[in-house]
Structure 1
Amino acid sequence: MEQSFSRQCGRIYAARDKNGALVAAIWCIWDHRSCYYFMSSRMATAHDGAISLLLWQAIQDAAQLGLIFDFDGVSSNESVAFFSGFGGRLTPRFKATRTSAAGRLVWEFKELRRPNRFLC
Structure 2
Amino acid sequence: MHIAYGILAALLAAFYLYAGGKKTVQSRDALRPMMGWVDQVPMPLVRAIGVLEVLGAAGLVLPPLTGIAPWLAVAAAVGLALIQIGGIAVHLSRGEARVIGLNIGLLAAAAAAAWLGTSWL
State whether TM-score is above 0.5: no
TM-score (ref. length: structure 2): 0.33
> Which structure's CA Rg is the greater one?
1
TM-score, length of structure 1 as denominator length: 0.33
